[in-house]
Amino acid sequence: MGPSVKIFSGTGSQALCAKITQCFGAASGKVIIQKFSDGEFQPIFLESIRGDYVFLVQSTCAPTDNLMELLLMIDAAKRASAYKIIAVIPYYGYARQDRKDRPRVAIGSKLVASLLEKAGATRVITMDLHAPQIQGFFDIPVDHLDSSAIFIPYIEKLNLPNLTFAAPDVGSTNRVREIASYFNAEMVICDKHRKRANEIASMVLIGDVQDKDIVLIDDIIDTGGTLAKAAALLKENGARSVRALCTHPVLSGNAYQNIENSVLEELVVCDTIQLKENASSKIKVISVADLFAIAIRNAYENKSITSLFIHSQMRDK
Protein backbone atom coordinates (compact mmCIF):
# COMPACT_ATOMS: atom_id res chain seq x y z
CA MET A 1 0.00 0.00 0.00
CA GLY A 2 1.53 3.28 -1.15
CA PRO A 3 1.36 6.73 0.44
CA SER A 4 -2.09 8.27 0.73
CA VAL A 5 -3.19 11.87 0.13
CA LYS A 6 -4.03 14.22 3.02
CA ILE A 7 -5.21 17.76 2.26
CA PHE A 8 -5.16 20.35 5.04
CA SER A 9 -6.12 24.01 5.12
CA GLY A 10 -4.67 26.97 6.94
CA THR A 11 -7.09 29.52 8.37
CA GLY A 12 -6.65 31.83 5.36
CA SER A 13 -8.01 29.43 2.72
CA GLN A 14 -10.60 27.24 4.44
CA ALA A 15 -13.45 28.01 2.02
CA LEU A 16 -11.31 27.29 -1.04
CA CYS A 17 -9.82 24.15 0.50
CA ALA A 18 -13.32 22.80 1.18
CA LYS A 19 -14.13 23.23 -2.54
CA ILE A 20 -10.83 21.66 -3.58
CA THR A 21 -11.36 18.58 -1.42
CA GLN A 22 -14.91 18.24 -2.74
CA CYS A 23 -13.62 18.34 -6.34
CA PHE A 24 -10.82 15.93 -5.42
CA GLY A 25 -13.22 13.54 -3.72
CA ALA A 26 -11.69 13.51 -0.25
CA ALA A 27 -12.40 15.03 3.14
CA SER A 28 -10.27 17.87 4.48
CA GLY A 29 -7.67 16.73 6.98
CA LYS A 30 -8.08 17.60 10.65
CA VAL A 31 -5.81 20.33 11.92
CA ILE A 32 -6.22 23.04 14.53
CA ILE A 33 -4.31 26.28 14.96
CA GLN A 34 -3.74 26.77 18.67
CA LYS A 35 -3.53 30.47 19.49
CA PHE A 36 -1.89 32.09 22.49
CA SER A 37 -2.97 35.35 24.11
CA ASP A 38 0.05 37.22 22.73
CA GLY A 39 -0.90 36.36 19.13
CA GLU A 40 1.50 33.43 18.73
CA PHE A 41 0.02 30.31 17.18
CA GLN A 42 0.88 26.64 16.79
CA PRO A 43 -0.57 24.23 14.18
CA ILE A 44 -1.45 20.74 15.45
CA PHE A 45 -2.36 17.87 13.09
CA LEU A 46 -5.10 15.76 14.66
CA GLU A 47 -4.44 12.65 12.56
CA SER A 48 -1.41 10.64 11.52
CA ILE A 49 0.38 11.84 8.39
CA ARG A 50 3.37 9.52 8.62
CA GLY A 51 4.44 8.43 5.12
CA ASP A 52 1.66 10.45 3.41
CA TYR A 53 1.51 13.02 0.62
CA VAL A 54 0.52 16.12 2.61
CA PHE A 55 -0.97 19.05 0.68
CA LEU A 56 -1.20 22.29 2.69
CA VAL A 57 -3.59 24.85 1.18
CA GLN A 58 -2.90 28.43 2.22
CA SER A 59 -2.82 31.73 0.34
CA THR A 60 -0.33 34.15 1.84
CA CYS A 61 -2.57 37.21 1.53
CA ALA A 62 -2.43 39.90 4.21
CA PRO A 63 0.69 37.94 4.15
CA THR A 64 2.53 37.79 7.46
CA ASP A 65 0.24 35.67 9.68
CA ASN A 66 -0.88 33.40 6.84
CA LEU A 67 2.69 32.91 5.67
CA MET A 68 3.96 32.16 9.18
CA GLU A 69 1.09 29.73 9.73
CA LEU A 70 1.96 27.91 6.50
CA LEU A 71 5.63 27.69 7.46
CA LEU A 72 4.73 26.23 10.86
CA MET A 73 2.37 23.70 9.22
CA ILE A 74 5.16 22.62 6.87
CA ASP A 75 7.56 22.23 9.81
CA ALA A 76 4.98 20.25 11.80
CA ALA A 77 4.35 17.95 8.82
CA LYS A 78 8.09 17.39 8.37
CA ARG A 79 8.52 16.52 12.05
CA ALA A 80 5.51 14.16 11.80
CA SER A 81 7.35 12.17 9.10
CA ALA A 82 5.18 13.11 6.11
CA TYR A 83 6.49 11.53 2.90
CA LYS A 84 6.01 14.60 0.69
CA ILE A 85 4.94 18.11 1.77
CA ILE A 86 3.37 20.16 -0.99
CA ALA A 87 2.56 23.81 -0.31
CA VAL A 88 -0.56 24.74 -2.30
CA ILE A 89 -0.41 28.55 -2.44
CA PRO A 90 -3.22 29.89 -4.66
CA TYR A 91 -2.02 33.47 -4.04
CA TYR A 92 1.72 33.87 -3.45
CA GLY A 93 2.24 36.97 -1.32
CA TYR A 94 5.31 39.22 -1.74
CA ALA A 95 5.41 38.28 -5.45
CA ARG A 96 5.55 41.97 -6.41
CA GLN A 97 8.96 42.19 -4.73
CA ASP A 98 10.65 40.16 -7.45
CA ARG A 99 13.71 42.28 -8.25
CA LYS A 100 15.98 44.97 -6.86
CA ASP A 101 14.58 47.94 -8.78
CA ARG A 102 16.14 50.56 -6.52
CA PRO A 103 18.99 50.65 -3.98
CA ARG A 104 18.64 49.06 -0.54
CA VAL A 105 15.42 47.07 -1.02
CA ALA A 106 14.58 43.44 -0.28
CA ILE A 107 13.61 40.83 -2.87
CA GLY A 108 10.69 39.50 -0.85
CA SER A 109 9.56 36.79 -3.25
CA LYS A 110 13.01 35.15 -3.15
CA LEU A 111 13.06 35.30 0.65
CA VAL A 112 9.63 33.61 0.86
CA ALA A 113 10.81 30.89 -1.55
CA SER A 114 13.84 30.24 0.66
CA LEU A 115 11.68 30.11 3.80
CA LEU A 116 9.30 27.57 2.25
CA GLU A 117 12.19 25.33 1.21
CA LYS A 118 13.97 25.65 4.56
CA ALA A 119 10.75 24.80 6.43
CA GLY A 120 10.56 21.53 4.49
CA ALA A 121 8.28 21.97 1.47
CA THR A 122 9.15 19.50 -1.29
CA ARG A 123 6.94 21.05 -4.00
CA VAL A 124 4.87 24.21 -4.53
CA ILE A 125 1.63 24.53 -6.47
CA THR A 126 0.62 28.12 -7.13
CA MET A 127 -1.21 30.28 -9.67
CA ASP A 128 -0.42 33.37 -11.74
CA LEU A 129 2.76 34.56 -10.08
CA HIS A 130 3.26 38.28 -10.60
CA ALA A 131 6.37 37.39 -12.61
CA PRO A 132 6.78 33.83 -13.98
CA GLN A 133 10.54 33.94 -13.37
CA ILE A 134 9.84 33.74 -9.61
CA GLN A 135 9.77 29.98 -10.24
CA GLY A 136 13.53 30.27 -10.62
CA PHE A 137 13.84 31.39 -6.98
CA PHE A 138 12.97 27.83 -5.95
CA ASP A 139 15.24 24.78 -5.97
CA ILE A 140 12.20 22.49 -5.65
CA PRO A 141 9.53 21.77 -8.31
CA VAL A 142 6.92 24.50 -8.87
CA ASP A 143 3.62 23.84 -10.65
CA HIS A 144 2.59 27.27 -11.89
CA LEU A 145 -1.09 27.17 -12.86
CA ASP A 146 -2.62 29.64 -15.31
CA SER A 147 -6.00 31.30 -14.69
CA SER A 148 -6.55 31.53 -18.45
CA ALA A 149 -7.81 27.94 -18.24
CA ILE A 150 -10.94 29.25 -16.50
CA PHE A 151 -11.01 32.80 -17.87
CA ILE A 152 -11.05 31.71 -21.54
CA PRO A 153 -14.31 29.72 -21.27
CA TYR A 154 -15.89 32.67 -19.44
CA ILE A 155 -14.86 35.11 -22.19
CA GLU A 156 -16.16 32.74 -24.86
CA LYS A 157 -19.58 32.69 -23.19
CA LEU A 158 -19.74 36.51 -23.28
CA ASN A 159 -19.76 36.36 -27.10
CA LEU A 160 -18.63 40.00 -27.41
CA PRO A 161 -18.98 41.27 -31.02
CA ASN A 162 -15.89 43.52 -31.14
CA LEU A 163 -13.63 41.81 -28.62
CA THR A 164 -10.36 43.58 -27.85
CA PHE A 165 -8.01 42.87 -24.94
CA ALA A 166 -6.24 45.50 -22.88
CA ALA A 167 -3.20 45.37 -20.62
CA PRO A 168 -3.60 47.80 -17.68
CA ASP A 169 0.18 48.30 -17.67
CA VAL A 170 3.21 47.30 -19.71
CA GLY A 171 4.08 44.53 -17.24
CA SER A 172 0.87 42.67 -18.16
CA THR A 173 1.48 42.60 -21.92
CA ASN A 174 2.79 39.02 -22.20
CA ARG A 175 -0.10 37.64 -20.17
CA VAL A 176 -2.66 39.57 -22.23
CA ARG A 177 -0.99 38.81 -25.57
CA GLU A 178 -1.33 35.05 -24.99
CA ILE A 179 -5.08 35.29 -24.41
CA ALA A 180 -5.55 37.76 -27.28
CA SER A 181 -3.71 35.33 -29.58
CA TYR A 182 -6.02 32.51 -28.53
CA PHE A 183 -9.02 34.59 -29.67
CA ASN A 184 -7.16 36.06 -32.66
CA ALA A 185 -8.17 39.45 -31.25
CA GLU A 186 -6.50 42.86 -31.10
CA MET A 187 -4.72 44.15 -28.03
CA VAL A 188 -4.10 47.63 -26.58
CA ILE A 189 -1.93 48.82 -23.69
CA CYS A 190 -2.60 51.36 -20.94
CA ASP A 191 0.88 52.64 -20.14
CA LYS A 192 1.03 53.95 -16.58
CA HIS A 193 3.69 55.81 -14.66
CA ARG A 194 3.84 55.67 -10.86
CA LYS A 195 5.43 58.13 -8.47
CA ARG A 196 5.09 55.62 -5.61
CA ALA A 197 3.36 52.29 -4.85
CA ASN A 198 -0.46 52.34 -5.29
CA GLU A 199 -0.38 55.88 -6.70
CA ILE A 200 -0.58 56.52 -10.46
CA ALA A 201 0.93 59.74 -11.78
CA SER A 202 -0.16 59.39 -15.42
CA MET A 203 -1.59 56.92 -17.94
CA VAL A 204 -1.68 56.93 -21.74
CA LEU A 205 -3.41 54.58 -24.19
CA ILE A 206 -1.49 52.74 -26.92
CA GLY A 207 -3.89 51.45 -29.57
CA ASP A 208 -7.38 52.07 -30.98
CA VAL A 209 -10.49 51.14 -28.93
CA GLN A 210 -13.23 53.01 -30.81
CA ASP A 211 -16.50 50.99 -30.59
CA LYS A 212 -14.63 47.99 -29.13
CA ASP A 213 -15.71 45.70 -26.27
CA ILE A 214 -12.68 45.73 -24.00
CA VAL A 215 -11.55 43.00 -21.62
CA LEU A 216 -8.79 44.11 -19.24
CA ILE A 217 -6.59 41.26 -17.95
CA ASP A 218 -4.31 41.37 -14.90
CA ASP A 219 -2.96 39.03 -12.24
CA ILE A 220 -3.59 41.18 -9.14
CA ILE A 221 -6.11 43.84 -8.26
CA ASP A 222 -5.04 45.66 -5.11
CA THR A 223 -6.55 49.10 -4.53
CA GLY A 224 -8.36 49.03 -7.87
CA GLY A 225 -6.90 52.42 -8.82
CA THR A 226 -5.11 51.18 -11.93
CA LEU A 227 -8.12 49.31 -13.30
CA ALA A 228 -10.54 52.14 -12.57
CA LYS A 229 -8.26 54.66 -14.29
CA ALA A 230 -7.60 52.33 -17.22
CA ALA A 231 -11.33 51.70 -17.68
CA ALA A 232 -12.05 55.43 -17.64
CA LEU A 233 -9.28 56.06 -20.21
CA LEU A 234 -10.65 53.35 -22.49
CA LYS A 235 -14.17 54.77 -22.28
CA GLU A 236 -12.90 58.28 -22.98
CA ASN A 237 -11.28 56.94 -26.14
CA GLY A 238 -14.51 55.44 -27.46
CA ALA A 239 -14.71 51.92 -26.02
CA ARG A 240 -18.25 50.55 -26.09
CA SER A 241 -17.86 48.42 -22.96
CA VAL A 242 -15.07 47.68 -20.47
CA ARG A 243 -14.81 44.75 -18.07
CA ALA A 244 -11.85 43.31 -16.15
CA LEU A 245 -10.66 39.81 -15.31
CA CYS A 246 -8.12 39.60 -12.49
CA THR A 247 -6.85 36.45 -10.80
CA HIS A 248 -6.08 37.58 -7.25
CA PRO A 249 -8.56 39.94 -5.51
CA VAL A 250 -6.28 41.53 -2.91
CA LEU A 251 -8.71 44.49 -2.76
CA SER A 252 -7.12 46.61 -0.05
CA GLY A 253 -7.83 50.20 1.02
CA ASN A 254 -10.68 51.78 -0.95
CA ALA A 255 -10.71 49.02 -3.57
CA TYR A 256 -14.38 48.06 -3.24
CA GLN A 257 -15.46 51.69 -3.51
CA ASN A 258 -13.12 52.28 -6.45
CA ILE A 259 -14.59 49.33 -8.34
CA GLU A 260 -18.19 50.22 -7.52
CA ASN A 261 -17.67 53.83 -8.70
CA SER A 262 -15.73 52.87 -11.85
CA VAL A 263 -17.09 52.56 -15.40
CA LEU A 264 -16.36 48.83 -15.40
CA GLU A 265 -19.27 46.62 -16.45
CA GLU A 266 -17.98 43.90 -14.13
CA LEU A 267 -14.87 42.65 -12.36
CA VAL A 268 -14.34 38.88 -12.59
CA VAL A 269 -11.92 37.41 -10.03
CA CYS A 270 -10.84 34.01 -8.75
CA ASP A 271 -11.36 32.73 -5.21
CA THR A 272 -7.63 32.50 -4.49
CA ILE A 273 -8.35 35.07 -1.77
CA GLN A 274 -11.52 35.08 0.33
CA LEU A 275 -13.70 38.11 -0.46
CA LYS A 276 -15.97 40.08 1.83
CA GLU A 277 -19.61 39.07 1.46
CA ASN A 278 -21.80 41.38 -0.64
CA ALA A 279 -18.76 43.57 -1.27
CA SER A 280 -19.79 44.98 -4.66
CA SER A 281 -22.51 44.27 -7.19
CA LYS A 282 -19.89 44.48 -9.96
CA ILE A 283 -17.67 41.68 -8.63
CA LYS A 284 -18.16 38.10 -9.85
CA VAL A 285 -16.13 35.19 -8.47
CA ILE A 286 -15.02 32.11 -10.46
CA SER A 287 -13.62 29.20 -8.48
CA VAL A 288 -10.18 27.72 -9.11
CA ALA A 289 -10.98 24.67 -6.96
CA ASP A 290 -11.31 22.20 -9.84
CA LEU A 291 -8.04 23.38 -11.38
CA PHE A 292 -6.16 22.89 -8.10
CA ALA A 293 -7.85 19.54 -7.46
CA ILE A 294 -6.61 18.27 -10.84
CA ALA A 295 -3.11 19.63 -10.15
CA ILE A 296 -3.06 17.91 -6.73
CA ARG A 297 -4.20 14.60 -8.21
CA ASN A 298 -1.64 14.78 -11.02
CA ALA A 299 1.15 15.69 -8.60
CA TYR A 300 0.22 12.67 -6.47
CA GLU A 301 0.00 10.34 -9.48
CA ASN A 302 3.11 11.79 -11.17
CA LYS A 303 1.12 12.89 -14.23
CA SER A 304 1.62 15.91 -16.46
CA ILE A 305 -0.38 19.12 -15.88
CA THR A 306 0.23 20.43 -19.42
CA SER A 307 -3.46 20.14 -20.28
CA LEU A 308 -4.23 22.88 -17.74
CA PHE A 309 -2.31 25.52 -19.70
CA ILE A 310 -3.33 27.92 -22.46
CA HIS A 311 -0.72 26.71 -24.99
CA SER A 312 -2.25 23.22 -24.82
CA GLN A 313 -5.68 24.69 -25.54
CA MET A 314 -4.26 26.68 -28.46
CA ARG A 315 -2.93 23.49 -30.08
CA ASP A 316 -6.39 21.95 -29.88
CA LYS A 317 -8.20 24.87 -31.54
- Annotated catalytic sites, by residue? 192
Q: What string of DSSP letters covers 192-218?
A: EEEEETTEEEEEEEES--TT-EEEEEE
Residue 154 DSSP label: H
**Cα–Cα distance measured from residue 107 to residue 94, given in angstroms and rounded to the nearest whole number:** 9
| CB-based contact 29:6 (threshold 8 Å) | yes
Query: Alpha carbon of 96 to those of 28, 57, 144: distances in Å?
Result: 31, 21, 16
**Cα–Cα distance measured from residue 317 to residue 315, given in angstroms and rounded to the nearest whole number:** 6
Which among 257, 258, 278, 259 is positioned nearest to 268, based on CA atoms?
A: 259
Residues 6+ apart with CB under 8 A from 161: 213
Alpha-helical runs (H) found in 59-137: 63-79, 108-119
Sheet containing strand 84-89, edge to edge, reads 5-9, 53-57, 84-89, 123-127, 142-145
Amino acid letter, 253: G
Chain-centre distance for alpha carbon 20: 15
221 φ, ψ (degrees, to nearest 5): -120, 120
Which among 162, 179, 256, 261 is positioned nearest to 219, based on CA atoms?
A: 179
Count of all residues that appear for the chain in the document: 317
Which among 54, 52, 56 is positioned nearest to 3, based on CA atoms?
A: 52
